[in-house]
A = this chain, B = another copy of it.
Amino acid sequence: MKINIPESSKKRIVIVGGGFGGLKLALKLASRKEYQVVLLDKNNYHQFQPLFYQVAMAGLEPSSIVFPLRKAFQKNKDVYIRVTEVLAVHTDKNQLETSLGICNYDYLVLAIGAETNFFGNEKIARLAIPMKSVSEALFLRNRILSDFEKALSTTDYEERQKLMDIVVVGGGPTGVEVSGALAEMKRYVFPKDYPELNTDEIDIYLLQGADQLLLGMSEESSRKSLEFLTQLGVKVRLNTLVTDFDGEYVHMNNGETIHTSKVIWAAGITGNKLRGVPEGALTRGNRIRVNRFNQVEGLENVFAVGDIAYMEEENYPQGHPQVAQVAMQQATQLANNFRNLHRGQGLLPFSYRDLGSMATIGRNRAVADLPGFKFQGAFAWLIWLLVHLFQILGVKNKVFIFLNWVWNYVTYDQSLRLIIRPRVPKSGEVEVEP
């Protein structure tokens, strides 16, 4: 079966993945109309990863941080969006195998991103809670609230503590932001919602394998983030690796254990796999090796951008950091290179321009490393808010996130404490998958 997309006299670029890289590229190409653009994603929306943790913490609605792909292309007739699973690539035939059928391409761009890395531990993969999609963030929100409800019905002290304590694994931006937000909830939200529980006894642990937090950031930011988290009451353990988790106890490399039902796993990522990508092109972290034009090694018409792409540059001999900025800059450059191709001109090499990085730690506190300018505290927090508000797609999302933030800030209250589950499919019913 062939996917139902009309043939065109233009060459067809197929983009797999509507994340930061894929969406940016599709938007640039769409505006120039030189190619037929096909965008494939398993969801019908683009997700704004930096704010997943606020969904998990009941501060923002999922809908505020995702954006319908079709809405982004309403004015572009020659862009075809298909919600589908991409199963394999056959580079010899210039074909993709998808759940909707075979999709031919003239040029292919893999923007398939990365998934949570459980480092091969299947038990952890099964029992810990990742946070790499808005669905997972929502699952975490439901799980935290459900566990508090369970704690209410538990007369056993140990059992109750197990349900209330939370372990966050990984001291990167996600781990730092989640544990900071949890500390704020412990302080302002849980005592009001659960007067029957002794919420002072909630322990929030942050476990980090390295000897400092926020490894990619400056020494100052690492130090300050540790200080902020400690002030908030988060128990940060550096040089600590999780060796096992059985749903009851977290085992660490120092021989100690923590009794908890909940482990939030933000310890690392690994590139998403796609059958048919040449074995030889895969490198560490399961990334796909590309040249400076984002071309996959040995394949002239296949490209990769963003987290999945591994490109060495003078200043980045070990590849670029896996962040949104790299993905978006590569997408912009690749869009320009497609224009050059269309005009019969040569390709230009990519260079990454680091615009800095930030992380927020609870209310009023953040750390920021901008080029030649590092700062921490309330001002950094304000800048963090503005930068993220500016980056999120859609005027409506911007307005509603801003209002939510003001509301939450003023009331000290994340109000979305709802365990909303989808309807349970009725017996015999097959839910229609897109």
Question: Which A positions have Cβ atoms within 8 angstroms of B?
Answer: 3-4, 43-45, 61-63, 66, 68, 70-71, 74, 77, 80, 82-84, 100-101, 125-127, 133-136, 138-139, 142-143, 145-147, 149-150, 152-155, 192-196, 261, 394, 396, 399-400, 403, 407, 411, 413, 415-423, 426-429, 432-434
Shortest distance in angstroms between A414's beta carbon and chain B's nearest beta carbon? 10
Report whether A422 and B422 are in contact in the complex, using a CB–CB cutoff of 8 Å. yes
* Chain B residues with CB under 8 A of A429: 126-127
A152 to chain B, nearest CB (A): 7
- Is B135's CB under 8 angstroms from A423's CB? yes
- Known contacts A423-B138, A426-B126, A433-B146, A418 near B44 by CB under 8 Å: yes
Chain B residues with Cβ below 8 Å from A434 are: 145-146, 149-150, 419
A62's nearest neighbour on chain B, judged by CB, is B420
Q: How far is the CA of A155 from the CA of B6 in the complex (A)?
A: 11
Contacts of A45 in B (CB 8 A): 418-420
CA distance A100 to B434 in the complex (A): 38
- Minimum CB distance partner of A411 in chain B: B396
Contact A416 B63 (CB under 8 A): yes
Q: Which residues of B contact A150 (CB under 8 A)?
A: 432, 434
Given contacts A150-B432, A403-B400, A429-B127, contact A71 B417 (CB under 8 A): yes
Q: How many copies does the complex hold?
A: 2
- State which of B136, B261, B422 has its C-beta within 8 Å of the C-beta of A139: B422
Please give the distance in Å from A424's CB to the nearest CB on chain B: 8
Q: Judging by beta carbons under 8 Å apart, are B419 and A139 in contact?
A: no
**C-alpha gap A45/B145 in the complex (Å):** 12
A135 to B142 CA separation, bound complex (whole angstroms):
14
Report the minimum CB–CB distance from A186 to chain B (whole Å): 16
In Å, the complex CA distance between A423 and B139 comes to: 6
Are A4 and B82 in contact (CB-based, < 8 A)?
no
Which of B3, B192, B415 makes the CB contact (< 8 A) with A153?
B3
Q: Which residue of B lies closest to A101 (CB)?
A: B153
Q: What chain B residues lie within 8 Å of A3 (beta carbons)?
A: 153
Task: Please give, as numbers and ranges, the residues of chain B lying within 8 Å of A421 by CB-CB distance.
Answer: 135, 422
**Complex: how many Å from CA A143 to CA B427?**
17
Decide if A420 touches B134 in the complex (CB within 8 Å): yes
- Chain B residues with CB below 8 A from A43, complex form: 419
Closest residue of chain B to A196 (Cβ to Cβ) is B80
Most buried by B among A100, A421, A423, A432: A423
